[in-house]
Every structure is written in C-alpha cells, then in structure tokens.
Amino acid sequence: MEFAAITGWGKCLPPAVLTNDDISTFLDTDDEWIVSRTGMKERRISHVPISDLAHVASVRALAAAGVDASEVDLIIFGSCSPDEVVPNAASRVQLLLGIKTAAVFDINTACTSGMYALSIASSMIRTGIARTALVIGAEVASSVQDWTDRNVAVLFGDGAAAFVLQGTEKHEGILAEKLGCYADSRDILRANGIGMRYADGRTILGTIWWNFNGQEIFKKAVVGMCEASQEALARAGLSTGQIDLIVPHQANLRIIDFVAKRLKVPPEQVFINIHKYGNMSSATTPVALVEAVEEGYVKHGTHILLPAFGAGLSYSAHVIRWGERVTPLHSTDIELPPCEKTGLEIVKEYMSRPRAGGPY
C-alpha cells in the first residue's frame, strides 16, 4: 500500500474531574499559579484500569471507521502506565474486543508513545505486514504520580484515544515524520520507582518519586519539537505555510506558544485543549487530534503538523494529510462503568496507600 489512512478515531476521558482548587486542598499551590504557568484548569482521574479506557476509545474508533473488530490484525498500545508489563496491555484490549488473532504489542517512549505507535502502524501497513491497525495512546498518569510533589502533580491527567489505520493508494495519512531522542537528557525527567530496577521486595506502587527539571524540559521540548517539525516538513516537501493546523503535545501552554512562534504559525491555527485535561502523556496528542476532528477543524485534505516530546527525552513530529472521512460512519453507545467518586476522592485513595518509609 502506498499510504495508511486514518479511517476511524475515538477517545475516552474518565468522568472524574480534579480541579486546580482540588489540588490546592492538599498541596501548596493555587489556581492562579497553575493557570498562569501551564494553562491547565482541570484534569481527569481514572476510576478504571488503563486498558478499559483504551477499550472504550477503540470501540468508538472502530465504529467511526465502520470496521468490525475481527478485521483488526494489529494493535499497538502506546503508554508508560500499562496495567502490567507481562502480559502486555494490548492483549487485554484484544481480549475485550474479542479479536481471535492479531499482532499486539505495547510501546513506551513516554509522552510520545501514541505518536510513535502511529508511525509503526503506518509503516507496517505500508510494507504489507498489517492491513487494519488499531493505534492507541493512553495514560493513567494518576497511578504513577507522586501526589506529594507540587512540581509534577499539577501537570498530569488521565485519558485515552484510538485510531483505525487502513491501507490506501491515495496520498493521505502520515506523509512524513521525524522521530528522535536526546538520551543525554534522560535525567531531567524520570519517574523513579516503576520498573525492574526497583523491584527489590518493596511495594512498588506508592513508592514513586520524580526527577523533574521543568525549565530544562521546557527548553529541550521547544528545540526538539521545532527541529523535528522542520525535518518532517522537509521530508513531506511542505513549508509551514502549507500547514493548516498544528495539533501539538499539550504539556504547557507556554511551550506550545514558543513552538508556534518559532514555526511562524498564527495562534488561530494551533489546536489547544490543555485547559480541560492537563498533560495526559501518551494520550495527549492523540486525544487532541480526535477533538480537532470532532470540533470541525479538520477537513478533507487538511495538512496537520503534530509535534510532541516526552521523557527520554523523546521527540516526534508528524505531517498528516487528512482523508475524506471527517464524520464517523457509525456511533456506539459504549460507556465506562459509572464512577461514584470525585477526582479528589480517587487521589486521596492513592495518597493513603502505604509507601516505603511510612504513609504520606
């Protein structure tokens, strides 16, 4: 196949909301600081496992594409907070969808995971390895959060998005991308306590603390997103003037403003949803793209630039030409199970868990 078109899209945001004011009840912070430094007003907190969010997003994406789950032969689950490492989260989504056989795997490049997943699926379709792919970007950041650290706890939220990719001879889908990583910046953003090097007999969850150098991340993020964008545009043979819409990773409104200014793209061409969800890590750019379509910013032939960055410090930029479908073929009534708790109550439960050295 020449290209891999995005023929379906769906999202799943857990209903429980955690506002800035909620956070200021247990951390020394306030709404004014968070809004002025980040652009975030509230975020969602999941009451279900990440694979449940991913499942609902996937069912919605399949309905939008008019594709039966049995046609899916590839699932890529982009995330750094899977329910478990072995077996992977993609296989639980496969099970919930009732798919008998498919190639399914998780990938983790931190916040860029959903975008790397998109590239891998597109390449596997274009090379004939897969025919119909489900690409997921999902995060339950609340479960890997250090809720005692105001430097990071205010920044993240939970969510999921999914896309259906199918081969096409038309010039659409991902036209070009640039993926990379500044490994010498690994230490400026690290979630300590997750992974095998910490499995020394302690309870792993609830013993998480972060290295987080916000200003260094900020600088590297701007450079990585801008350079990757220029490279992806050059590979696609397009100039920034030919881009209709930028859908960036939403980690900080000021980072987005810097990137748009450097790329000389006017603010009205930049899609923003950070105020509603904070940074959903792997789900951020995928959910933003889904909402850009849902809100009518994407038309047939729209050129979209998607710059992103994540811990590692990984970066990516994709140039996409959108295909003909801008409204879902079908809808579905699938919903998450109801949530009886507030976002604050769920977070308080995380905080009450025992941690090495005693309770919070």
Q: Which stretch binds ligand ACO (CB under 6 A): 119-127, 196-204, 264-272, 308-316?
A: 308-316
Q: Which stretch binds ligand ACO (CB under 6 A): 34-42, 93-101, 122-130, 342-350?
A: 34-42
Those residues with Cβ within 8 angstroms of residue 267's Cβ, 6 or more apart along the chain or in another chain: 257, 260
Nearest distance from residue 314's CB to ligand ACO, in Å? 8
Q: In the set 16, 45, 50, 155, which binds ligand ACO (CB under 6 A)?
A: 155
Is residue 310 involved in binding ligand ACO (CB under 6 A)? yes
Is residue 283 involved in binding ligand ACO (CB under 6 A)? no
The two tokens of residue 216 are 């260094």
Is residue 343 involved in binding ligand ACO (CB under 6 A)? no
Is residue 252 involved in binding ligand ACO (CB under 6 A)? yes
The answer to whether the beta carbons of residues 316 and 111 sit under 8 Å apart is no
Is residue 140 involved in binding ligand ACO (CB under 6 A)? no
Q: Which is nearer to ligand ACO, 218 or 360 (CB)?
A: 218
Q: How many helices (H) and strands (E) does the chain have?
A: 11, 13
Range list of β-strands (E), 273-333: 303-310, 314-321
Nearest distance from residue 222's CB to ligand ACO, in Å? 10
Active site residue 226: no
Q: In the set 1, 15, 26, 29, which binds ligand ACO (CB under 6 A)?
A: 29
Active site residue 318: no
Q: In the set 77, 147, 277, 309, which binds ligand ACO (CB under 6 A)?
A: 309
Q: Is 99 exposed, middle or buried (0-12, 13-18, 19+ CB in 10 A)?
A: buried
Q: Which is nearer to ligand ACO, 105 or 218 (CB)?
A: 218
The two tokens of residue 251 are 């980690």
The two tokens of residue 165 are 């990719």
Angle between helices 89-97 and 50-65 (to 10 degrees): 50
Length of the chain: 360
The answer to whether the beta carbons of residues 160 and 140 sit under 8 Å apart is no
How far is residue 131's CA from residue 121's CA, in Å, rounded to a whole number? 9
Active site residue 279: yes
Is residue 19 involved in binding ligand ACO (CB under 6 A)? no
Q: Identify the active-site residue in 55, 88, 108, 249.
A: 249
The sign of the dihedral angle between the CA atoms of 149, 152, 154, 156 is negative
Q: Identify the active-site residue in 111, 181, 252, 318.
A: 111
Nearest distance from residue 288's CB to ligand ACO, in Å? 13
Is residue 217 involved in binding ligand ACO (CB under 6 A)? yes
Rg (CA), the chain: 19
The answer to whether the beta carbons of residues 22 and 344 sit under 8 Å apart is yes
Nearest distance from residue 270's CB to ligand ACO, in Å? 17
Q: Count CB neighbours of 183 within 10 A.
A: 9
Q: Which residues bind ligand ACO (CB under 6 A)?
A: 29, 33-34, 37-38, 110-111, 150-151, 154-155, 189, 214-215, 217-218, 221, 251-252, 279, 281, 309-311
**Residues assigned a catalytic role:** 111, 249, 279
